Structure 1
Amino acid sequence: MDVEQSTGAMNADTVGIAKNPSPSLEERSVRHGDLLGGEKVDEALAAKMIIVNDTIDEIGFTHHHWKLFCLNGFGYAVDSLILLIQSIISTQARLEFQPSYATGLTIAVYVGMLVGAIFWGFSADIIGRRFAFNVSLFISAIFTVVAGASPSWITLGLFVCLSAFGAGGNLVLDTTVFLEYLPSKNQWLLTLMAAWWGLGQLIAGLFAWAFLPNYSCSDAATCTRENNQGWRYVWFTSGAFVFVLSILRITIIRLQETPKFLIAEGKDAQAVRVLQEIATRYNRPCSITRERLEACGTTAQRSTTATGLTQRLVSPGEVFFHLRGLYATRKMAISTTMVWFSWLLIGLAYPLYNVFLPIYLASRGASFGQSSAYITWRNYAINNTCSIFGPVLAGFMCRSPWFWGRRGTMIIGALVTMIFFFCYTQVRTASQNLGFTCAISFCLNIYYGTLYAYTPEVFPSGHRGTGNGVAIGLNRIMGIISAVVGEAANTATSVPIFICAALYIVMAIVAGTLPFEPYGRRSS
């Protein structure tokens, strides 16, 4: 039997428990394949998580999960959309505003995403997942539209930062919400969901291809707002698109707090109600009861005197409670540190390549006699189309024993990406230029998509938002550093490509040393 499928065989496990009426928590954790089952932290909470996982497996995969796959995928798409739009339009905006600091927009977008990741990440563990799910995209949509009307470079940077603040929390919540509703045998879909990231890139590229070649100036001396409307059209169109997605989020599904968050908060009755409503709606069995959960004991609660929402969000006790939870055991501490280090590495490598990709394409295209904006943005759209399918392949690799699970998929993705990076430095023709950038985008997203899925899987549910938020926050810090590097160095040369290749070698090594392998195991 496939290992991934065997974790969903709850009936056999239930029979086994019946024969042994009082198995220890550790025996039950091993029997059910719980990923953090051997890490004894809060035995009452761990016992309740086993029951919740059993119930989610009992209910199985439903249309509710397909809705979550799409609605949470919107967050992936918007994050990549906002990140890339600023790099796409920065050249034209610079011609119009002639700023003193050329990479200011890149710094602005990463600052916004950094603050967003930290804010929405901690709030997800303190006040819940639902608020960010319903609000974050709407915030991003408003400021994305407003950014298109910016009268100056500084104002544009401010609105880009605020737009990124809304978008930046989505990657923290998207994986968390989806994972905490998924049956164990379907956890590989978390990797597949990263295909939405590539879709967001594609949409950004298509908007650029549609507007920039025909509505842009080419000379700073004659560039005015009237003859340089293309980059503004890109912002307006993107903002309208994000607004539609934000409306769909609150109309297609009325998201309730995830059962695992409710259990971690000690709200057993609400968790039972959420699971029973899903089971009833889709005519599925559901054996969980409040009495079974309460029989497990009382879970440890954070101690804080803060009562108001604002007080709780800024309370040091709340923050340290969740940070300590990520370092509760030695193995968890190593895992948390290595995961965060992986995000630091990809945070430098990804923007050095992707954010400055238009510069690479334009400089390489010019050297091959393809200097037109139409060719540049056509190639950019093709490149981003290829990036969609990297996570698709990664999703199927993650559920196959031939690729050693999530860690093996990350190792393969990082090493193959590194090879193509080195090959790209030897490009000599226009066809090679397009072919190798497409190959890099495809392979890069095998690693990135798997890391996005792996991260929430190895964090405990009660502290998952915090762990995700810090990971993505570290990623954004390195994005800011990459912008500084981009200002000081010549990004039209092959030097950043060599740096990226070296970073992916380190990423492969780190992936091989990660202590937890989620393949065939259930997340807490």
Structure 2
Amino acid sequence: MQVVQSEQKTPRVDDDMDTKDESAQEQTMTTGDMISIGGVDPALAAKMHIVNDAINQIGFTTYHTKLFFLNGFGYAVDSLLAFLMSITAGQVALEFQPSYARGGTIALYVGLLVGALFWGIGADIMGRKWAFNLSLLIAAVFSIAAGASPNFITWTSFVAITGFGAGGNLVLDTTVFLEYLPAKSQWLVTLMAVWWGIGQTVAGLLAWAFIPNFSCTSADDCPRSENMGWRYLYFTSGALVLCMSIARVTVIRFHETPKFLVCRGDDEKVVKGLQDLAQKYGRPCDLTVEQLQRHGAVATAHSQNLFSFNEIMVHYNGLFATRKLGISTSLVWLSWTLIGLAYPLFYIFLPEYLSSRGAQFGETSAYITWRNYVLAQFSAIFGPLVAGYLCKIPRVGRKYTMVIGAILTMVFFFAYTSVRNDDQNIAFSCIVSFAINIYYGTLYAYSPEVLPSGHRATGNGTAVALNRIMGIMSAIVATYADTSTPVPVYICAALFAVMAAVSAIFPYEPQNGQSI
């Protein structure tokens, strides 16, 4: 494949980089472009390399720190709202007595599915800015509305719209953060998954406070006045998300990412944005408009008509522009599909499983059930911390961090079925929560890293959408299967064995180069 050098003569990482020279690899791994598209669109390849050089020259700033926290809110919101539905579903069913109790789960995942595709494709067409801000606001408003639902149909409708906002928000968080990061700091996208565990923990703590104290226990006598716990949970969580949404607008003035602007052909805005960032934080930036424009116009990022089916196909075709990129995209999508079935089978129905196991061990208290749930979710925070450390180790990187996380999860899933008392039950649920988030947190970061900027949100959104389809399938499986038995645990363990194998054969390792 063609390799395009910029005026700054920064070393590049080719697809077949010589691994024998360790010192040479270490020198280039933070400055080379990971994906080679020079033979497909030389202008885009050259411009992306020049912009990467400018981002690396500016380095990590306070602006990036703000993005880490504000984008992390999206992770927290997605996990909080997903678990909110699973936590409240039982009490909602007692109050409204629907004919299909799993309707909330399916509504949520349909919303997440549509949101991932809508906001993902839309962000590649219209830009990241509006999708980034609006998606979180939608999730906040309709989660509050869900708490005031007068009936089951209204509740599931609001849950679906909440999922629509949260699903798109999650796609954009990693995309926006990554497209501003210098190469040496790309590992922070993996670390950002700690917010996922924080969101889970907040959901568990709020449930622990509200559900045992403000809930009815029988469908025969469950009026609204006696079952306000789940409503308080939605009101509180929605208000928290609304504060996060306001913070995104007030704490930082988010501008369109430079890499999206390159794909759109706005060279002047690319230079102005990076020059303004450098000036604000006292950093050097030698980028000029002439450097970009001398390489000509970008030909492959958009069609002539933005609002057309052809424009959508341009973005999907771009994900398979080369054989290596096509294999990578397919394996990433496969991984999201597999984890989309394994994760909900264990996590979304974890309250049922923990409750049934607690009953076996003589623990029937709702207080103890939700205490155990909070401890398991809190343990999830430490998975991405370990993943962030592992992905920086030479010869481990993102790929083998995922392998390690998947294998650990598989082992402890199988071990979970041998639990014989309550202490073992909570210990193993915490360990599984920790291990699964080593894998999942890294996959969240790896996916946008190995997708080209012009089509990144489309590829990432499709990956998440495939994940949500399997989430819907998991709800259907749970309808006809007993989730209080170890069978779902065995299925999850087998799926993680497959995920470990897939991770090992990913063709790209982001540790060895910078995303374009």
TM-score over 0.5 (shorter chain)? yes
Q: Contact 1:390–1:445 (CA<8 Å) still a contact in 2? A: yes
1:454 aligns with 2:453: no
The CA deviation at 1:16 is 6.9
Distance 1:344 1:26 in 2: 27
Partner of 2:20: none
Consecutive unaligned residues of structure 2, counting only runs of 5 or more, are 18-24
Displacement of 1:232: 0.6
Q: Which amino acid aligns with 1:467?
A: G
Structure 1: how far apart are the matches of 2:352 and 2:405?
Answer: 25
Q: Distance in 2 between matches of 1:78 and 1:290?
A: 39
Q: Counterpart of 2:486?
A: 494
CA distance in 2, matches of 1:26, 1:214: 58
Deviation, structure 1 residue 401: 1.4
Question: Residue type of the partner of 1:200?
Answer: G
CA distance in 2, matches of 1:25, 1:74: 35
The TM-score with structure 1 as length reference comes to 0.93
CA distance in 1 between partners of 2:121 and 2:41 (Å): 21
Structure 1 counterpart of 2:455, which letter?
H
The question of whether the paired residues in 1 share the 8 Å contact of 2:178 and 2:189 is answered with yes
Tell me if the contact between 2:263 and 2:301 (Cα under 8 Å) persists in the aligned partners: no
Partner of 1:429: 421
Which of the residues 339, 342, 345 maps onto 1:346? 339
Query: Mapping of 1:2-401 within 5 angstroms?
Result: 14=8, 32-37=31-36, 40-301=39-300, 304=303, 306=305, 312=307, 315-401=308-394
C-alpha separation in 2, matches of 1:240 and 1:416: 37
SS in 2 for 1:254: coil
Is 1:25–1:47's contact at 8 Å kept on the other side of the alignment? no
Once the two structures are superposed, residues 27-52 of structure 1 have per-residue CA deviations (whole angstroms, 9 ceiling, x without a partner) of: 99x96421112663211110011110
* Cα deviation 1:395-419 (Å, max 9, x = unaligned): 11001115x2110000000000000
Kindly indicate whether the alpha-carbon contact (under 8 Å) linking 2:105 and 2:472 is maintained by their aligned counterparts in 1: yes
Report Cα offsets for 1:393-447 as digits up to 9, x if no partner: 1011001115x21100000000000000000011110000000000000000000
Matches within 5 A, 1:460-475: 460-475=452-467
- When the two structures are superposed, what TM-score results if normalisation uses the length of structure 2? 0.94
Q: Is the 8 A contact 2:301 2:455 kept in 1?
A: no
Gaps of 5+ in 1: 1-9, 18-22
Answer yes or no: is the 8 Å Cα contact 1:176–1:464 preserved in 2: yes
Q: In the alignment, residue 246 of structure 2 is paired with which amino acid?
A: I
Could you list the runs of 4 or more consecutive aligned residues of structure 1 that deviate by over 6 angstroms after TM superposition? 23-28
Q: Does the Cα contact within 8 Å between 2:399 and 2:504 map onto a contact in 1? A: yes
Partner residue, 1:4:
none
* Identity, % of aligned positions: 58
In structure 2, relative to structure 1, the CA distance for the partners of 1:27 and 1:195 (3 Å cut) is closer
Are 1:56 and 1:183, in contact at CA under 8 Å, matched by a contact in 2?
yes
Summarize the Cα distance change of 1:303–1:260 in structure 2 as closer, same or farther, 3 Å threshold. Answer: closer
Cα RMSD for the two superposed structures: 2.0
Structure 1 letter corresponding to 2:56: D
Aligned length: 501
Post-superposition Cα deviations, 1:437-473, rounded to whole Å, max 9, x if no partner, equal 0000000000000000000000000000000000000
Q: In structure 2, the residue corresponding to 1:185 is in which secondary structure?
A: helix
Within 1, Cα distance between the matches of 2:292 and 2:14? Answer: 14
How far residue 98 of structure 1 moved from its aligned partner, in angstroms, is 1.2
Q: Choose which of 399, 403, 410 in structure 2 pairs with 1:411.
A: 403
* Aligned equivalents of 2:371, 2:459: Cα separation in 1: 38
